[in-house]
Structure 1
Amino acid sequence: MNQSFIRASLEQGAPSGAALLFPSGGQAAFWRRVGTADDYAAMVAEIKSEGSRLLEEPIPELRYSLFKLFETTGNRLAYERLYFEKRRRLNTMTFLALLEPDDERYREALHDAIWSICNEYTWCLPAHLRGSTETDGEQAFAVDSPEWSRRERGTSIDLFSAETGFALAEILCLLGSELPPLLRSRMTEEIVQRLFKPYLRQGPFGWETVDNNWAAVCAGSVASAALLLLDDSRRLAEIVEKALVTMEHYLSGFGDDGACLEGIGYWNYGFGYFVYFADLLERRTRGRLDLFRTDDARGGKIRQIALFQQKAYLDGDTTVNFSDSAQHYPVQIGLSHYLAARYPETAPPPNAMRAPYTDDHCSRWAHAFRNLLWFDPQKNGGSWADGDYYLPHAQWLVSRCTTAAGRFGFAAKAGHNGEPHNHNDIGQFILTGDGKVFLSDLGSGEYTADYFGPGRYGFDCNGSQGHSVPIVDGAHQSAGTSHAAREVTASTGEREDGLRFEMADAYDLPYLASLERQLVWRKLDTPVLELEDAYRFTSMPTSIVERIVSRIKPAVEANVVTLQSEAGLRLAIAYDAQALRPNVQCRTMNDHYGAETDWYAIDFAVLEPRLDTRVRLTFRFE
């Protein structure tokens, strides 16, 4: 797709501005409906409650002492909490200024929030600015002025600077002349200087060629802001062309199964921003540039990515949380309804699963706005349907089943240890019953400098020591794409699912000739999971430990270890007491929000390791 075609499509398309967001017209009518209709009442109440809180709070100051913490201590949360609180203020006051235009309090608070954000030294997070510098200049210019090629600022673009610029562009379109002229001019100038100019003049940035969420969020945000604001077709076409190239890199990170290896949270993030951009591009070009068309391979892959959400949940908001993903994750209801309208086979989730307004700790405007804009009360779905899915690219097996005893879920993965947001977790599995997670994936921990540095796999949630996988001669799994499962076979059926794979390559142990893991999920009235690990060594091992991970405190009894939910459902882990000795350790980790949480390592030590050793564990719900 060359620039001349892109430019012609834009020139023949729709004008910039708020009409792109409300193609049928009637922005004022939309906000009246949101403010008065019962279907939106809960959402509006959440926004108003947050508005009342924020009116009593000062605008956060992003102090230098907090900014430098990442470099000096590796801490991210202290600065980021205030940064995201300020974005929450921007979003909330914008919504309330639109919902209650006669309330001067909200207008004044919004104006101050915009001014404060425009004054920020950088819109990037300190964690994303290592080695970069910021300089400033004096010249200001209009959005389409030729002067904006003059000033050099050395501005970086990261996820959150791109999102901030996109948010301000959309807010500028929504409020238009309701904003004071100086604020409009300032917002325009900052978007040009912090997004458009560096994107075209100071790249390429590293994220332009990656195949993960950074590509979609950064390129999608910059290009979306341009589609909303720019009338200069040459510059707009240049930005859109660059963004489309980056989107191809983003899509290349998915296999034909559409699975997001980073988990459902990053699917919402990366694919969400892909969708936001693709929607604006289609509207701006009046359908000439349609990334959702399904008559080519790209469109077919995008359809499969859209279907991933309904395969990534085990029960309610309990997710298949491999990698840096949360164990419980509510849905972005606007994105879900938009995709359900695009693809009939996409199952809309129940509205009860929607993310509350304050759920997103990063306070992303694009999600929050489209949760109102794209919400369709008629698409209220039911509970996730029973289903069995094997995703061959990801090598995930996912099963949901309902029996007389309740609802149950099982997920397991093979894969490799060089995945995005990688955890060393070949062989990991999750087991749920009636919404309770009995066998857990610890998900994501607190993001710090070391979390993404040399010490990454010392964090239990990232290293194999925090997963339900073997520890062989004291060795844990190693990182890298060469540490991968091989000979993977999967099966799904009405009564039984299975996953079998060779995982010896996960360990740097040359004398471990083979380690074959087999998981069989029997969907009986009270389901049973059977695990068998078959080891073959070329020299005698000294220890083999089968580790099982849970957040439920276990009880050790003769021949069985039990885990019990508050509701009384019990999971019994049966083992051969003549061959295995169980031991339970309570360990702690800092979760993604910095809170210390407990988890339990249930270790079954092989009493007499041999050159050929076979271990069996049976997990039975009771």
Structure 2
Amino acid sequence: MTTTSLPAPDVTDRDFWTSGGVTGALAPALARADAERGTPWPQALTSQYARFFRDGDRTAYESQVAARHARLTRATLAALADPTTDHVDEVVDGVVLLCEQSTWCWAAHDDAHERRGDVTPVVTEPYLDLGAGEVAAQLAWVDHLLGPVLDQRAPGVRRRVRHEARVRVLRPFTDRRDWWWLGVDHPIMNWSPWIQGNVLAANLALEDDPVRRWATTALVAEGIAAYWAALPDDGGVDEGYHYWWQGAARALEAQDLLAFAGIAPAAEALDRIRATVAFPHSMHLGGDWYVNVADGAARPLSTWPWNVVHAWALRVGDDAAARHAASYRGQPGSLFDERSSLPRAVGLLTAPWGDEPPATPPLVDQAAFPATGVAVARTAAGSTRGPAVAVKGGHNDENHNHVDVGSVVVALDGVPVVVDAGKPTYRAGTFGPDRYDLWVVRGDWHNVPRVRGVEQVPGREFAARSFSAGNDADPGRWAARMDLGGAYAVGGLEHWWREVVLDRAAETVTVEDTWQFSPATAPGPADAPTAAGPTAWHWLLAGDVVLEPGRALVRFAPTDDGSPRTLAITWDPGVVDAALDVRELDDPELSAVWGGHLTRLRLTARTEPPTGTFRVTMRPTGSAQQEVG
């Protein structure tokens, strides 16, 4: 058996795995591993797999697969801490269960149904997707970490692992180069580094042929370089904060493995790395809340591997990014999240964080990523106090796209109040032709107007024009401006300028829309609504909402001192009719972030003039005299 090659101490390094810091961090996982050892393993059943094709449910199968992964991760860590026979036997059971799984691919990604009509996997034609890569990487790390004790306790199991990884992942990767996620007839997105980083781990640990090992490493290096080249110069990610961790962060992890194999990033890639390392802390609103666009949660449901950001921020000299990453050091659950993959768990455990106390997050005063049209500003740098605002330009065919050109998010004291609902639970149809029937994706449930009864239209050509963001001559006034007219298929619409202003001294956010139609498209002498319907402004609100004449009062979550503040949203009641639409949340991913419901404030225009201006003002109650726009 060849020596495996991954950058972490294996089970023979007893000084590391029995050190107080490691055993203390592992205590919750080890206690759970002890409790579940000897109990039945989670079963990923064919009937669960087939549900995706029968009724659209992908959670039943994927949750069982994830539970099996999590249990094997805990078992592996328990065996590292105490490599007794019962601990090692538990690992062997989990490893062989994965090896005997008919497919490592997730049902939602397998092409067997499309090609053959099958609702079961075709074991002789493995499909290399995110799920297959995750299994291969987990088995590679188990093999590396526990190889000596596996050889002693279960001779042959490592040979089985190598066979399955070779047949299901390594050979499909090298022998078939038309995978769409490599950028073949499809824009490169987060799948590419996620899969290729996992392929690289399996290759370094499980490929016994040195010639093949180097050839596969070189292919991954090309693929990761292509991903960096696909990112914009400013480091933004159109998939947003959530998928930054499953795209850019995956590429950083792959780059670490490439460095371990002797391949450094090119200068061009290093420039993109330096830019994108600043993305996570730029999206920070306060506490565990972040600006979310596309399929992203405003409050992450998992602990992310901040050690990766910390290490790269130090390498590229970004003090703010390093501080933000270090703010997670020492927080409960930050060192090890049992929902993490085994590679990320080991990375967190072996990270050179040091013994210093956690840093404080920088809470930058503003950030802009023009290539994707995302910008953020807060009332004061270094503080969550007061309003913070984020705007989204871009276009309506981005990765994990929502119909949201011109959308605005407003947080009060670090907590979103005017919100983007975010990521739904994925099902069949989430990424199919029916995607834009989902309420959480549609423009009507984002903070953008419905223009003359028409929602925004999906498609790359439906985009913001003339995006800009930054301080005016007065540093106390930040403004973002864009023309939303191009995002609507509305006849005669020449411009729909949206200007979002944060007045830091007044703690006020103003959103002002100014439009221009060609005279020939005016609705008529009485300025009546068009046949399609009236113009309406939508604002999606989190928390308790009270509607009063000319204003809505919104209170969501308490601040750090336990006293929630209220955001007052005001407008001219003479030009619109106001109503509230309560949306009950029965999706567990959405309710985990927002609670039981969200509320849409709907402001409907009474007339449709060919030119006009409408303004909404938002500020905490108790601040300066409220304006009516």
TM-score, normalised with respect to structure 2: 0.87
Amino acid at match of 1:221: N
Q: State the Cα distance separating 1:556 from its structure 2 match.
A: 1.1
> Cα distance, 1:57 vs. partner?
4.2
Q: How far is the alpha carbon of 1:387 from its aligned partner?
A: 2.2
Matching residue's letter, 1:476: E
Name the aligned partner's letter for residue 17 of structure 1. T
Partner of 2:140: 169
Question: Which blocks of at least 5 consecutive residues in structure 2 are unaligned?
Answer: 524-528, 622-629
Inter-partner Cα distance in structure 2 for 1:407 and 1:32: 46
Residues 460 and 589 (structure 1), Cα distance of their counterparts in 2 relative to 1, 3 Å cut = farther
User: SS of the residue aligned with 2:601?
Assistant: strand
Contact 1:67 1:126 in 2 (8 A): yes
1:262 is matched with which residue? 239
Q: Which residue of 2 aligns with 1:145?
A: none
Mapped to 2, the partners of 1:174 and 1:74 lie a distance apart of 38
Per-residue CA deviation, residues 258-317 of structure 1 (Å, 9 max, x unaligned), is 1121122211112232222211221222xxx211x6xx2221111111221111211122
Aligned to 2:161: 187
C-alpha displacement of 1:50: 3.1
Question: Post-superposition shift, 1:53?
Answer: 4.6
Deviation at 1:376, TM superposition (A): 0.9
Residue 223 of structure 2 is matched in structure 1 by 246
* Corresponding residue number in structure 2 for 1:448: 427
The match for 2:191 among 201, 211, 214 is 214
- Distance apart, 1:590 and its partner CA: 4.5
What's 2:363 paired with? 385
The SS at the match of 2:198 is helix
CA distance in structure 1 between the partners assigned to 2:65 and 2:283 by the alignment: 30
- How far apart are residue 107 of structure 1 and its match? 1.9
For 2:206, the equivalent position in structure 1 comes to: 229
Secondary structure in structure 2 of the residue aligned to 1:614:
strand
Task: Indicate if the aligned counterparts of 1:333 and 1:354 stay in contact, CA closer than 8 A.
Answer: no
Deviation readout 1:336-361 (Å, 9 max, x if unpaired): 33223323313233126675578575
Q: Which of 295, 301, 304 matches 2:275?
A: 304
CA deviations 1:481-520 (Å, max 9, x no partner) are 1000001122236312111111111111122222111100
Q: Which residue of 2 aligns with 1:21?
A: 8
Query: CA separation in 1, counterparts of 2:87 and 2:12?
Result: 22
Residue in 2 aligned with 1:610? 609
Deviation at 1:375, TM superposition (A): 5.1
The answer as to 2:535 corresponding to 1:544 is: yes
Change in Cα spacing, 1:318 to 1:522, as seen in structure 2 (3 Å) is same
Please tell me whether residue 438 in structure 1 is matched to residue 424 in structure 2: no
Aligned match of 1:32: 18
Match of 1:284 among 261, 272, 277: 261
Give CA deviations for 1:370-404 in whole Å, capped at 9, x if unaligned.
11122514463213333211111111111234489
Residue 246 of structure 2 aligns to a residue whose secondary structure is helix
Asked if the contact 1:224/1:276 (under 8 Å) is kept, the reply is no
**Match of 1:332?**
305
1:87 counterpart SS class: helix
Q: Hey, what does 1:423 align to over in structure 2?
A: 402
SS in 1 for 2:544: coil
Once the two structures are superposed, residues 92-132 of structure 1 have per-residue CA deviations (whole angstroms, 9 ceiling, x without a partner) of: 10011001223x43222211111111100000100001336
- AA of the residue aligned to 2:322: A
Equivalent positions of 1:512-527 (< 5 A) are 512-524=493-505, 527=507
Written as runs of structure 1 = structure 2, the 5 A alignment for 1:328-367 is: 328-329=299-300, 330-345=303-318, 346-348=321-323, 349=325, 350=327, 351=329, 356=334, 361=339, 363-367=340-344
Figure out how many residues of one structure are paired with residues of the other and give that number.
Answer: 578
Which one-letter code corresponds to 1:462 in the other structure? V
Indicate whether 1:497 and 2:478 are aligned: yes
| Range moving further from structure 2, 558-567 or 450-459 | 558-567
Please give the root-mean-square deviation of Cα atoms over the aligned residues, in Å: 2.4
Match 1:43 to one of 6, 17, 25: 25
Q: 1:319 & 1:553 partners in 2: Cα distance?
A: 21
Change (3 A) 1:594 1:498: closer
Pair 1:135–1:607, CA change in 2 (3 A): closer
Q: 1:107 aligns with which of 80, 85, 88?
A: 88
Structure 1 SS opposite 2:607: coil
**CA–CA distance in 2 between the matches of 1:395 and 1:246?**
26
Partner of 1:196: 170
Candidates 99, 109, 119, aligned match of 1:128: 109
1:534 is aligned to 2:514 = yes
State which drifts further: 462-471 or 430-439.
430-439
Partner of 1:399: 377
- Rounded to whole Å, the distance in 2 between the matches of 1:441 and 1:421 is 14
- Cα distance change, pair 160–256 in 1 and its aligned pair in 2 (3 A): same
After superposition, the C-alpha distances for 1:538-561 in whole angstroms (9 at most, x for unaligned) are 323511111111122311112221
Q: Could you say if the C-alpha distance between residues 339 and 83 of structure 1 is closer, same or farther in structure 2, counting changes exceeding 3 Å?
A: same
Pair 1:249–1:463, CA change in 2 (3 A)? farther
Q: Match for residue 72 of structure 2?
A: 90
* Structure 1 residue ranges without an equivalent (≥5): 1-14, 137-152
Q: Matches of 2:282 and 2:86 in 1, distance apart? A: 44
Distance 2:251 2:442 in 1: 31
Q: TM-score, normalised by structure 1?
A: 0.88
Which amino acid is the alignment partner of residue 388 of structure 1? Q
Query: Runs (4+) of structure 1 moved beyond 6 Å?
Result: none
How far, CA to CA, are the matches of 1:365 and 1:545 in structure 2?
Answer: 48
**Aligned mate of 2:55, from 59, 62, 73:** 73
Question: Is contact 1:533-1:615 (8 Å) kept?
Answer: yes
Q: Percent identity?
A: 24
Query: 1:163 aligns to what SS in structure 2?
Result: helix
> In structure 1, what residue type is equivalent to 2:565?
L
Question: Is 1:116 aligned with 2:102?
Answer: no
Deviates more, 1:298-307 or 1:564-573: 564-573
CA distance in structure 2 between the aligned counterparts of 1:499 and 1:132, rounded to whole angstroms: 48
8 Å contact from structure 2 (residues 421, 440) kept in 1:
yes
